Structure 1
């Protein structure tokens, strides 16, 4: 699929923000006063900023509020409700830490659960799509959740926990790529099934369905060469996992910590670009693009 920058920024930065809120809700780090204010400011800027950026890809942003009405059937609607619940609960919880030097444990735990729920519902928007076999597997939610928790631990300054989670997230990412590469072939979808002409013989493309482009081709058909994809995967893995872990193994230094965070974010952005760029929507079969 065509990688839209707004959706990439949304899924990466909101994931980091809600990941940090998870740790803060669990009391990690145990901060109050101005320190708590600083951590919550970073978390809300990432989470809310990411959510706002997602509206830039909407054809009618003014209709975004209607998403709240479809929670019975839409993962997008469930994401919206989870995000609001998480932000409200964590906002109240944060007020207790910042202004009253008090940790309201139950609110923190509930806020952490809804923060995890927000990342999970975001991932399910993609994992539910049978039309994109690469996404339609249980590893998609695991990929989103592992990166969110790892990034949150890194932002929360939890060195040992961050190293472990970053390694786990890197491993999940590798397996996701390996299995994802086989998903389109395993789905059984081909030009014969796309055109429903397989019953009368072998099907091949004689001419394109039309001479110009259209919305489907612009949004759902994006082809990236295998050589470039491999190179970008190596870059993504090196930045998101290898470099941060190596930096965290060194004696603690604030500059190195900032570099580790920036490297991790850069790697996740690269991996998320590939997440969309390599997603083979089955509509591409009809146009002979797969």
Structure 2
């Protein structure tokens, strides 16, 4: 599928932001004063920046408000509600840390759980799409949550953050391995795409139309195997291995900053591949795999 920059930024930044907010809400790090202002501001900034980026993928950004109306059937709508609920519920916890106010810990704990729930709803937007076999399995939400937890642990300076990053690397390897065979395992073909499989093996004589279309622009994208393999190595090294190593160096706060920059670069590469390698079954109708 077409790897739109807005969706890549949305899913990457919001995942990191909500992951960090979860750790702040749980009290894994308890800053005060200006330190709290900076850390809570970083979490909110990443989460909100990601959510704002998602609106640029809409044909009309004003339609973003309509996302809240379909919560019964749409994971996108559930994500919208979950994200707003998280940001609102964690606001008192942030203010309490900044101004030294007393606040029951349960407020932050519930807000932290909602932050991870938000990441889960984001993942389900993609995992529930049967027409994209590479996404349609349980490892997709595991990957999104692994990014959020590893990123949050890293930014909150948890001692086990390097292990969380290495676990994220293992999840990435599993996602790629399962995803590579998902399309073939789904048994999709030009026959199933056109409904003509019962008559024999159909082939494409002429394209469905000569002009471009939304389907061809958004649902069909081909990335070369060599480029994909190279980007996988880059994503694995930057998102997981390098930041895990950096966190073990005696660099103090600079280790977290450097690890965060490396991790974010790797996460962006991994998320670009997440979309670029995904094959929508509509490509079969046009005689294209991609």
TM class by shorter chain equals over 0.9
CA deviation after TM superposition for structure 1 residue 207, in Å = 2.4
CA deviation after TM superposition for structure 1 residue 114, in Å = 0.7
Q: List per-residue Cα deviations over 1:232-260 (Å, max 9, x = no partner).
A: 00000000111111111222333333221
Contact residue 11 and residue 122 of structure 1 kept, 8 A: yes
Q: Distance in 1 between matches of 2:208 and 2:69?
A: 37
Q: What corresponds to 1:234 in structure 2?
A: 233
1:161 aligns with 2:160: yes
Contact residue 96 and residue 104 of structure 1 kept, 8 A: no
* TM, length-normalised to structure 1: 0.97
Q: CA RMSD in A?
A: 1.1
CA deviation after TM superposition for structure 1 residue 103, in Å = 4.3
Q: Distance in 1 between matches of 2:119 and 2:168?
A: 15
CA deviation after TM superposition for structure 1 residue 206, in Å = 2.1
SS in 1 for 2:160: helix
SS in 2 for 1:157: coil
Q: Distance in 2 between matches of 1:110 and 1:255?
A: 31
Q: What corresponds to 1:88 in structure 2?
A: 88
CA deviation after TM superposition for structure 1 residue 101, in Å = 4.2
Contact residue 134 and residue 280 of structure 1 kept, 8 A: yes
Q: What corresponds to 2:130 in structure 1?
A: 130
SS in 2 for 1:85: helix
Q: Distance in 2 between matches of 1:149 and 1:256?
A: 18
The list of structure 1 runs, each at least 4 consecutive aligned residues, that deviate by more than 4 angstroms after superposition, is none
SS in 1 for 2:279: coil
Where does the alignment leave 5 or more consecutive residues of structure 1 unmatched? none
Contact residue 19 and residue 149 of structure 1 kept, 8 A: yes
Q: What corresponds to 1:11 in structure 2?
A: 11
CA deviation after TM superposition for structure 1 residue 102, in Å = 2.9
Q: What corresponds to 1:38 in structure 2?
A: 38
Q: Distance in 2 between matches of 1:30 and 1:95?
A: 12
Q: Distance in 1 between matches of 2:238 and 2:39?
A: 24
Q: List per-residue Cα deviations over 1:147-196 (Å, max 9, x = no partner).
A: 011111111122x2211111111111110000001111111110011111
Q: Distance in 1 between matches of 2:140 and 2:92?
A: 31
Q: What corresponds to 1:176 in structure 2?
A: 175
Q: Distance in 2 between matches of 1:267 and 1:103?
A: 37
Where does the alignment leave 5 or more consecutive residues of structure 2 unmatched? none
Q: Distance in 2 between matches of 1:262 and 1:67?
A: 32
CA deviation after TM superposition for structure 1 residue 119, in Å = 0.3
CA deviation after TM superposition for structure 1 residue 219, in Å = 0.4
SS in 2 for 1:3: coil
Instruction: Write out aligned runs for 1:16-95 (5 A).
Output: 16-95=16-95
Q: Distance in 2 between matches of 1:78 and 1:164?
A: 31
Instruction: Write out aligned runs for 1:88-237 (5 A).
Output: 88-158=88-158, 160-237=159-236
Q: List per-residue Cα deviations over 1:198-246 (Å, max 9, x = no partner).
A: 1111112222222232111100000001111000000000001111111
TM-aligned CA distance change 1:80 to 1:63, over 3 Å: same
Q: Distance in 2 between matches of 1:8 and 1:102?
A: 38
Q: What corresponds to 1:268 in structure 2?
A: 267
Q: Distance in 2 between matches of 1:136 and 1:184?
A: 10
SS in 2 for 1:229: helix
